[in-house]
Amino acid sequence: MGLFSFLTQEIAIDLGTANTIIIHNDKVVVDEPSIVALDASTGKLLAIGEKARQMHGKTHENIKTIRPLRDGVIADFNAAEQMIRGMIKIINPRQKFFTPTLRMVVCIPSGSTEVEIRAVRDSAEHAGGRDVYMIYEPMAAAIGIGIDVEEPEGSMVVDIGGGTTEIAVIALGGIVCNQSIRIAGDGFTADIQAYMRHQHNIKIGERTAEDIKIEVGSALPDLEDPPRDYNVRGPNLMTAMPIEIPISYQEIAHCLDKSLSKVESAIISVLEQTPPELYADIVSKGIYLAGGGALLRGLDKRLTDKINIPFHIAEDPLHAVARGTGIALKNVDNFSFLLR
**24-54 burial: b if 16+ Cβ within 10 Å, else e:** beeebebbbbbbbbbeeeeeebbbbbeebbe
* Inter-residue contact 134 to 117 (CB < 8 Å): yes
How many residues are present in the chain?
Answer: 340
Residue 178 contacts which entry, ligand ATP, Mg ion, none (Cβ below 5-8 A, type-dependent): none
Minimal distance, residue 315 CB to Mg ion, in Å: 16
Cα 203 to Cα 194: distance, rounded to the nearest angstrom: 9
Residue 17 contacts which entry, Mg ion, ligand ATP, none (Cβ below 5-8 A, type-dependent): ligand ATP
Minimal distance, residue 312 CB to ligand ATP, in Å: 16
# residues contacting Mg ion (CB under 5 A): 3
- Exposure of 15 in the CB half-sphere (CA atoms within 13 A): 36
Candidate list 68, 109, 161, 326; residue touching Mg ion; CB under 5 A = 161
Residue 185 contacts which entry, ligand ATP, Mg ion, none (Cβ below 5-8 A, type-dependent): ligand ATP
Write out the binding residues for Mg ion, residues 120-149 only, by CB under 5 A: none
Rg over CA atoms, the chain: 21
Minimal distance, residue 96 CB to Mg ion, in Å: 32
Minimal distance, residue 73 CB to ligand ATP, in Å: 8
Minimal distance, residue 138 CB to Mg ion, in Å: 10
* Choices 1-9, 97-105, 160-168, 300-308; region in contact with Mg ion by CB under 5 A: 160-168
Candidate list 9, 10, 16, 73; residue touching Mg ion; CB under 5 A = 16
Residue 187 contacts which entry, Mg ion, ligand ATP, none (Cβ below 5-8 A, type-dependent): none
Terminal CA-CA length for the chain: 24
Residue 162 contacts which entry, Mg ion, ligand ATP, none (Cβ below 5-8 A, type-dependent): ligand ATP
* Choices 45-53, 86-94, 120-128, 316-324; region in contact with Mg ion by CB under 5 A: 316-324
Minimal distance, residue 329 CB to ligand ATP, in Å: 17
Residue 214 contacts which entry, Mg ion, ligand ATP, none (Cβ below 5-8 A, type-dependent): ligand ATP
DSSP string, 122-174: HHHHHTTEEEEEEEEHHHHHHHHHT--TTSSS-EEEEEE-SS-EEEEEEETTE
Residue 180 contacts which entry, ligand ATP, Mg ion, none (Cβ below 5-8 A, type-dependent): none
The helix/strand/coil state of 246 is strand
φ and ψ at 240, to 5 degrees? 65, 10
In this structure, which amino acid lies at residue 57? G
Contact residues for ligand ATP, defined by CB under 6 A: 16-19, 72, 161-164, 184-186, 210, 213-214, 217, 291-293, 295-296, 318
**Complex with Mg ion: residue 72 or 234, whichever CB lies closer:** 72
**Complex with Mg ion: residue 292 or 298, whichever CB lies closer:** 292
What sign results for the dihedral spanned by CA atoms 327, 331, 335, 338?
positive
In this structure, which amino acid lies at residue 68? P
Minimal distance, residue 137 CB to Mg ion, in Å: 6
Q: Is 293 in the site for Mg ion (CB under 5 A)?
A: no
Q: Is 324 in the site for Mg ion (CB under 5 A)?
A: no
DSSP string, 45-110: EEEETHHHHHHTT---TTEEEE--EETTEES-HHHHHHHHHHHHHHHSTT-SS--PEEEEEEEE-T
Residue 91 contacts which entry, ligand ATP, Mg ion, none (Cβ below 5-8 A, type-dependent): none
* List of residues contacting Mg ion (CB under 5 A): 16, 161, 321
